Amino acid sequence: MDSRLSALVACGGGVCTWREMARVAPEWAVQAACRAGRLVRVLPGVYLDATLLSRTGTEEPVLARVEPEVARRAALAYTDGRGALSRLTALDVWGLRRQPPGEPVYVDVPTGSGRRDRPPLVLRHRTGFAAEPPQVVVRAGFPVTRLDRTLVDCWPLLPPVDRPGPVIRAVNDRLTTPQRLVVALAEEPRLTDRAALRGLVERLATGCRSALEIWGHDHVFIGPGMPAFVRQAPVRIGGRTVYLDMFAEAERVDIELDGATSHGDPAEREIDLRRDALLATRGILVVRFTHRRLLANPDEVRQQTLAILASRRSSS
């Protein structure tokens, strides 16, 4: 292949457009590279290094036969700089859910872009969209839709059981906030199962930080006799700040909900015991409930919590 074309393809991570090639080499050189099988047309006007194909001799579209990163570069090249990775593809780039093989490459483009779907590439034409801030940010070298919008867009595309996870993790990792999610949700009044997402965001805004905490909030630690718990309450102790899952301030009781995988490591268990002992020096009683117990015996957990709180009130 012409050395100029080789350099161009290498610079683009194996992807280049016909327009780019025409600027550095004569048309006959481009055609010769294609005839020799060195370059393969992956999308209209977009070509890639044939050595990047993971499977040959199949009826699958070329875009489905390359690694995800290459497919995403090719998809963006097809939009001529006017597109950004979106929905489940953007969620992958944000590191919140890996796209399994076979899922489309999702890209948002402005209305009137002149581009259309080329499976497995799925385009969404958005009025007023521009592939620039504040609608788009660069993540891992790719333009992607902002995270709050990405999470809202992905909600109806995921199975119901998988929907809360990325949202919870994004808030826990401080990649976004419940307040930003509220704004993004307001932009999609007809979103499928919108009420469930709104409820999840409301729980996160109160300080819930796991699916277990949300379940406990809705089914156990609410109602007559239960105080207004402060969730993720910061307490400065032992030269550091620790955050309490559910803190009853008046009773000085911290309810900790241990997930299904908690304390599998003895070292982690020891850390928790030391933390609980330090909190005891501040007059804070730590009460722990396991994932299994909370789900299997919610009424028992509720009654025991009420009894502990009542005991602390009477002794104060």
| Cβ proximity of 188 and 156 under 8 Å | no
Extents of the domains making up the chain: 3-52, 69-205, 211-315
211-315, CATH topology level: Endonuclease; Chain A (3.40.960)
| Per-position DSSP letters for 144-201, written without gaps between them | EE-HHHHHHHHGGGS-GGGSHHHHHHHHHTTSS-HHHHHHHHHT-TT-TTHHHHHHHH
Burial class (CB in 10 A: 0-12, 13-18, 19+), 158: middle
pLDDT tens profile 140-170? 999 999 999 999 999 999 999 999 999 999 9
pLDDT value, residue 299: 95
pLDDT tens profile 96-124? 999 998 899 999 999 999 999 999 999 99
pLDDT value, residue 19: 92
pLDDT value, residue 182: 97
pLDDT tens profile 216-275? 999 999 999 999 999 999 999 878 899 999 999 999 999 999 875 555 578 888 888 899
